[in-house]
Structures are given as C-alpha cells and as structure tokens.
Amino acid sequence: MINAVLFDLDGTLLDRNRSLHAFIRDQYRRFQALQRMDEPLFIKRFIELDQRGYVWKDIVYQKLIEEFRLDMEWEPLLEDYVQSFRHHCIGFANVIETLDDLKGMQLKLGMITNGMGQFQMNTIRGLNIEGYFDAIVISEQVGLRKPDIRIFHHALACLDAEPHTSLFVGDHPVHDVDASIHAGMKGVWKEDRAFGIAPSKPHRSIKNLREIKEMLHLFE
C-alpha cells in the first residue's frame, strides 16, 4: 500500500517549456538591448543554449551577448531571470486537482528537485503548490543531486516514509525513474519522449497527472 507520493518539479509538475517561453518573450520585450535581434531568433537560441535547464543562465546570457554582439552586460539579465521567472510559471494540466486528491487521501507528499535553492522555491511558490508538500528537498540545499539515491533516502527520512510504500513521479527516465527504483521506491514515468530514452523498468507510465490517483490501487 502506498503511503507517500513524491514528485520531481521541472517537466513533471511545472510545464517548463511553456513557462520558459512565456518568460523569454516577456524579457525580450522589456529589455530594449535584446531587440537588436529578431524575437523568434532570440527565443530559439535561448532554448538551444538552455539545454532543458541543464545549463545555468549565466552561461546562456553570456553566450547570447557574445554571439549577437549585444551592447549590454549579462548580470542584469540573470538577475531578472532569477527574480521574474516565478511570475511566468505554468503547471501541467490537473496539477492542483491531483495534489488535492492525494492530500485528501491522507498521503504524505514530497518533492525532490535538482536546482538552486531559492530559485526552485520561487518556482514552487509561483505554481501556488508549496502548501501541499510535507517535505521539499532541493539539491543545492542538501548537497546531493538526482540520480544519487541518497537524495531519495533523505527525502523519505524527512517524510518518515519507507521506500517500498512510496511512489516517485518524474519525467527524466534515468535521474527520476530509474534512480527512484534503485532507491527502493515505486517509479512512475511521466512520459517525455524528448529525452530520446525510456526508463529501464518503470512500474507505471502516465501521460496526465490525474492518472496517479487511478493507479494507486495497483500497488496494494
């Protein structure tokens, strides 16, 4: 029987692609110096350099300024990203409804996300979901990163939950699903074919977050 459900953030609860596009468009229109390049080109190149969030934005902005020979410094752009991204956060369909359902079932809820501590907390608050979670573990704050199984065990300890009665839901086939299974948990893949790989042996795969509630009885 499942007693705890833990989630990844980016690509699982946060629709990072839509959120990032919304932020980039807004930043482009607010910073006149960026408008020396076409907006579609700026957005396209930002997304390429960002590499699905695996490249921090100081490097992204430095490369953009160098490539397009922009007459500006990168630091204000990075600070704007850190402070303003939260206002453009878009959750996947049924995020709130799913968390409401799981909380109503008296399940413990947790989150494990790689990233910078304050930035990730701002993102969580931008989605208005912080209050649903009994434990939020951010890699920078604990000195561990997925796929290190120790970060899963740390989160489970915070929840006072056992691995074999806990479910982890994430979009990354290796860092989320395979790693959580190696940590002794039930691994559920929120399918994202853009990675070009699939988890080794996920316990379940979903396309919509609402499927989580429907599948819980399968683990009894």
Tens-digit pLDDT profile for residues 151-171: 999 999 999 999 999 999 999
pLDDT score for 63: 96
Domain of residue 191: give its range: 4-15+90-219
pLDDT score for 6: 98
Same domain, 206 and 177: yes
How far is Cα 119 from Cα 153, in angstroms, rounded to an integer? Answer: 23
Q: Among residues 44, 66, 88, which one ends one of the domains?
A: 88
List the 166-170 sheet strands across, edge first: 135-138, 108-113, 4-7, 166-170, 186-190, 204-206
Does residue 50 have a pLDDT over 90? yes
Percent of the chain surpassing pLDDT 90: 89
Backbone angles phi, psi at 137, to 5 degrees: -115, 120
Does residue 220 have a pLDDT over 80? no
Q: What is the pTM of this model?
A: 0.94
Same domain, 134 and 66: no
Residue pair 210/100 in contact (Cβ under 8 Å)? The answer is no
Cα dihedral sign, 96-102-103-105:
positive
Q: How far is CA 65 from CA 27, 69, 76, 81, in A?
A: 14, 5, 12, 15
Same domain, 141 and 63: no
User: Is residue 22 very low, low, confident or very high in pLDDT (cuts 50, 70, 90)?
Assistant: very high
